[in-house]
Amino acid sequence: MNQVKTIAAARLVGGHPALDFVNTVDAWRDRWGPDLLVSYGDLVTWALRVDLIDSALSVRLLHRADTEPAEAEAALLRARSLRTTLRDLFLAETMGETGSEENAARLDAVLQDANRRRELRLIAGTFEWGWRDDNDLDTVLHRIAFAAAELLTSRNERRDVRECHGINCGWLFLDTSRGGRRQWCSEEACGIHMRVRRFREKGSPGT
């Protein structure tokens, strides 16, 4: 029996929260899905795993989602929409392109909404960004948007984003390998599977 994949057990191999968020679809290439963000609770679980929120905030968000299920579902749909936008923007980078103005505008719209909820705080002599209403059901969406924007704007100071070409994959990752030629999201998963497939293809009759 195939094990059902869940967000709690999903591999985090992107090297950045924005890329791991895109990778919450189990496969983008060859086939699509399954989507690991089935519920708003999945979104909260993922955000906690990548340290975008802490456990106290996760409890508050889940409580609000329980009391406002329709609003939580709408927030989940907005997060999924942003995920597709980010996928397109970062996939363009893997091909040496900049991405479309339409997708840039979609991300900017989320950022503009998020900016109205941010505030600069002085805590123990140190300035830091905070949130005016971190119980907002879109707070995870807003934090993802800022993380993605920081990754996009740091293009000239970081390593390249690449796409895994493993079977039924298409996950994105930062290529931090020494030679900058990493091919797979995970050597243990897609890397081994692709090598086994190539070995079998070479050994099959008529090749």
- Residue 18: partners with Cβ closer than 8 Å, 6 or more residues away: 86, 90, 144, 147, 148, 151
Cis previous bond, 205, omega within 30: no
pLDDT digits (tens, 9 = 90+) for 86-120: 999 999 999 999 899 999 999 999 999 999 999 99
Q: Read off the pTM.
A: 0.89
Residue pLDDT, tens place only, 50-92: 999 999 999 999 999 999 999 999 999 999 999 999 999 999 9
Q: What is the largest CA-CA distance in the chain?
A: 72
